[in-house]
Amino acid sequence: ASASAAAPHAAYADQVHRAAQQSYSRKDDHVRLANSQHEAENRNSFDDVRFIHNSFPDIAVTDIDLHTDVLGARWELPFYINAMTGGSKQTGVLNASLAEAANATGISIASGSQHAALRDSSLTPTFATLREHTRGFLIANVGPSVTAAQAQQAVEMIDADALQVHVNAAQEIVMPEGDRDFRDWKASIDAIAETVQVPVIVKEVGFGMSQATIRYLYTTKAAAIDVSGKGGTDFITIENQRRKRSEFSYMTGWGESTVLSLMNVATVDNDIFGQNRPTQEGAERHCSKPQVIASGGVRTPLDVAIALSMGAQAVGVSGHFLHTLIASGTEGLIAEIERWKQQLGSIMTLLGARSLTELSRTDLVITGETAQEAEVLGIS
C-alpha cells in the first residue's frame, strides 16, 4: 500500500521539479533573449516626437529639480529600473547588481515576477537580494493569476513599498507554457488592490494600453498604471524564439506604442477631467485618478523627457539598463544612470523647464506613424 501511495507522490514531485527547472531556465532565456534585442536600439514611437526649440531658455542647470512624487513618496529622480527578473541563480545575481546600482544612484527599482518564489520558497533569496542591496523605493511584482494573499506575501518577501501587477496576455498567449484563460483577471486585480498593504500599479509588459484599457483601470483601485508600450523589449518575439517552431513570427509588432499609449491617457483624462495635458498639480487635484507611469522602449534621457512632458509621473527602463549591466557591469550601469541624470537636467535646461510640472507644459510636435495612428483613432 505504501508503494502505491508513494508512486503518485514521486510522479508529482518529479513534475514539480521539471516545472521548476523549466521556470528557472525560462528566466534565463528571457534575460538572454531580451539582452540581444537591446544590442542595437531600434527606432520607435519616441522618434515621432520632438520638442519645439527655444533660443532663450532663461534658466541655469543649477535651477533644475528632477524630483517627482510617486504613490505618496518623493523620488529624487523620475526614471527607475523597471520589472525584470529573479527566480534562478543567474537572475538572482543580476537582481543584486541592479539593486546595488539603484541604491548607489538613488533611483527606484521593481522586482521581476515573484511567482517562482511563491511556488518554491528556495528561490526567495533571488528576490530578497533586492532589499538587501537597496534602501530605496522597491516595487514587488506579480501577475493577476496569484491570490490576494500571495500578492501580500510577495510584498513582504522583499519588504516592498508598492506592488506591480503585470497584465501580459499577449506574452502568455505566445509563451509555450503560458496561461490560456484570462477570465478572472479583473476580479483578481480588485481583490489584490483591496488586500495588499501598499499601493498597486497595474502594468503592461511592452504592449501598451488602449483607451478602453485605461478607462477600465481608472474605475479600479489601482493607484497607478504603467502603460509599458511597444517599441523596446518585445515579449512576443522572445516567447516565439522559445517555441520549437517560431509559429508566431507574424505577431511581432502587436500592441500600442508608448507614445500612443500616453496620448490615449491624455484623451481619457480630457474626456473625464476636461484637461488635455494632466500636470502634476492636475494629478493631485484629481486624487482618485491613478498616477501614470510610462515605460517601453526608453533608450535615452531624451525619451525620458518626452514621456515626462506627455504627462508621465515617472519613467521605467528595463531592456536598456539590463543590456548596460550585462555589457559593462554594475559600475558601468551606475555610470550610465549618472549620465542620464546629468543629461536629463541638460535637456530640461534647454527647454527652460525647472521642474517636471514645467516640463509638462512644453510644446511637442508629433509626426510619422504615431500622428497617423492618433488621427485614425480621433486623438488630437
Tell the smallest beta-carbon distance from residue 98 to ligand FNR (Å).
11
Report whether 91 belongs to an annotated binding site.
Answer: no
Backbone torsions φ then ψ of 26, nearest 5 degrees: -60, -40
Residue 13 carries which side chain, given as an amino acid letter? A
Tell the smallest beta-carbon distance from residue 227 to ligand FNR (Å).
9
Binders of ligand FNR among residues 65 to 94 (CB under 6 A) are 82-85
For residue 15, what are the contacts with CB-CB under 8 A and spacing of at least 6?
Answer: none
Given the complex with ligand FNR, which of 87 and 280 has the nearer CB atom? 87
Tell the smallest beta-carbon distance from residue 307 to ligand FNR (Å).
11
Contact 107, 333 (CB under 8 A): no
**Which of 322, 333, 337, 374 touches ligand FNR by CB under 6 A?**
322
112 binds ligand FNR (CB under 6 A): yes
Given the complex with ligand FNR, which of 64 and 322 has the nearer CB atom? 322
193 binds ligand FNR (CB under 6 A): no
Given the complex with ligand FNR, which of 203 and 289 has the nearer CB atom? 203
Residue 316 CA to residue 134 CA, distance in Å, equals 17
How many residues bind to ligand FNR according to rule CB under 6 A?
A: 27
Residue 39 has, within 13 A of its CA and on its CB side, a CA count of 5
Residue 315 CA to residue 173 CA, distance in Å, equals 27
Binders of ligand FNR among residues 10 to 49 (CB under 6 A) are 30-31, 34
Q: Which residues pair with 224 in a beta bridge?
A: 201, 291
Query: Helices marked H in the chain — which ranges?
Result: 2-37, 89-105, 115-119, 125-133, 148-157, 169-174, 185-195, 211-217, 235-242, 258-273, 280-285, 301-309, 319-350, 356-359, 368-376
Helix, strand or coil for residue 8? Answer: helix
Tell the smallest beta-carbon distance from residue 110 to ligand FNR (Å).
7
Given the complex with ligand FNR, which of 97 and 362 has the nearer CB atom? 97
Binders of ligand FNR among residues 195 to 234 (CB under 6 A) are 203, 205-206, 228, 232-233
Residue 160 CA to residue 142 CA, distance in Å, equals 12
219: number of Cβ within 10 Å: 10
Site string for ligand FNR, 288-307 (x = CB under 6 A): -------xxxx---------
Site string for ligand FNR, 124-163 (x = CB under 6 A): -----------------x----------------------
Tell the smallest beta-carbon distance from residue 146 to ligand FNR (Å).
12
Report whether 172 belongs to an annotated binding site.
Answer: yes
Report whether 297 belongs to an annotated binding site.
Answer: yes
- Nearest Cα neighbor of 215 from 271, 169, 293 is 271
Report whether 27 belongs to an annotated binding site.
Answer: yes
For residue 354, what are the contacts with CB-CB under 8 A and spacing of at least 6?
Answer: 59, 63, 64, 65, 348
Report whether 114 belongs to an annotated binding site.
Answer: yes
317 binds ligand FNR (CB under 6 A): yes
Helix, strand or coil for residue 55? Answer: coil
Given the complex with ligand FNR, which of 29 and 65 has the nearer CB atom? 29
For residue 155, what are the contacts with CB-CB under 8 A and spacing of at least 6?
Answer: 140, 163, 196, 197, 198
Residue 205 carries which side chain, given as an amino acid letter? V
Report whether 85 belongs to an annotated binding site.
Answer: yes
Tell the smallest beta-carbon distance from residue 156 to ligand FNR (Å).
18
323 binds ligand FNR (CB under 6 A): no
Residues tagged in the binding site annotation: 26-27, 83-85, 113-115, 141, 171-172, 203, 228, 233, 297-299, 318-319
Residues tagged in the binding site annotation for Mg(2+): 172
